[in-house]
Amino acid sequence: MECGSPHGVGRQIAELCEHLHREKFELWVVYSVRPGFTPEEFEKLTHKAHRHVYIPEMVRPVHPLKDLLAFWKLYRLIRKEKPDVVHAHSSKAGVLARLAARLAGVKKIYYSPHGYSFLMTDVSSFSRGLYRGFELSVSWIGHVISTSKAETEAARSLSWGKEVFHVDKLFSMEEDFQGNPSSADGAVTIGALGRLSYARQPEAFIRLAKELSRKCPQARFVWIGGGEMESSILELARNQGLDSRVEFTGHIPRKAVLARLRQMDIFIHYSRWDSSPVAIQEAMYFAKPVIASDISGNRDLVIHGETGYLAKDENELCEYVSRLIESAALRTEMGAKGRDRLRKEFALEKSVEALERLYL
């Protein structure tokens, strides 16, 4: 059960649908979607599920009336269908589904936060305290399956002494890696992938482009994805005179996303907070050196100085990007090490087997 979009947590649900053993499990996806996406899009993404149940009232923000209605629908569904396992994904579904499953008598209940809401810094301290209170109030139900080391520690602080399981995010690619194209004109493409949202800090990407446009005329910049900050970020880029240097693709189909990602030379993920970003894994798959913000979720994936760099501030971000722009050999070396690490340490089969053992 999840509340999300066709990206991020939605992709994790899609991986579950794709790779869980179909003879052992009958998988139902109970979901809502974020603004800008449709149920049809989400069901296409998770088409390997045996059944879909759409609950539009399960919105992301706190909304007492809709939350109560969503809880009632979840409870009635679970009580009627009597599932053996309920696995909730993301904070809102985590609270409502765990409580509904417990009251309906489900024995095995799991929850994957994919980034606790009380760690977000774009909401007031009162709201963060409220989110933490919600988590604490239901954390005695079932077990947490975390996807990063930092998330494991946060879960343990809320778990009432219960065991917390760690399973790396499910990651697979639907196309073969066939090497990376090189630019005929010597340009170096610096790219990012993700929602244009406060959490992803796209304004820092604009400032980076502004700084490097003076120092490195061969640098090009592209941001793959759209979001709630799209209009303000486009205006910021125009005001900085970066219309011809920075491209924003908006929401584009999955195959187009992967094609554009493959064309990058350097990948940036300068987020304010994160659990364990799939975008970084995708960049590693295509052998891209990754420069990420020095935060807990990113540290799980990027080895500083080996597969990329972890930047403590925007000055370091600019310094590391400049270093990679100047050396194609260093980009190739770091990208290859990142791809090798992804294949060895974040194998899909290992995560799927771990989840199946918990479910059974």
- Each residue's pLDDT tens digit, 15-71: 999 999 988 999 999 999 887 788 998 999 899 999 999 999 988 777 889 999 999
- Each residue's pLDDT tens digit, 184-222: 567 899 999 999 999 999 999 999 999 998 888 889 999
Say what the pLDDT of residue 4 is.
46
Domain coordinates in residue numbering, the chain: 2-166, 188-345
Secondary structure class of 51 (helix, strand, coil): strand
Predicted TM-score of the model (pTM):
0.81
C-alpha 351/C-alpha 284 separation (Å) is 18
pLDDT band at 127 (very low <50, low <70, confident <90, very high): low
* DSSP class of 177: -
C-alpha 107/C-alpha 73 separation (Å) is 19
The CATH homologous superfamily for domain 188-345 is Glycogen Phosphorylase B; (3.40.50.2000)
* DSSP class of 27: -
pLDDT band at 1 (very low <50, low <70, confident <90, very high): low
- Domain range 2-166, CATH class: alpha beta
- Burial call 97-132: b when 16+ CB within 10 Å, e when fewer: bbbbbbebebeebbbbbbbbbbbbeeeeeeebeebb
- Each residue's pLDDT tens digit, 234-279: 999 999 999 889 999 999 988 899 999 999 999 999 999 887 788 9
One fold for 2-166 and 188-345: yes
* DSSP class of 168: P
How much of the chain is in helix, strand and coil states, percent to nearest 5?
Answer: 45, 15, 40
- Each residue's pLDDT tens digit, 284-342: 999 999 999 999 889 989 999 999 999 999 999 999 999 999 999 999 999 999 999 99
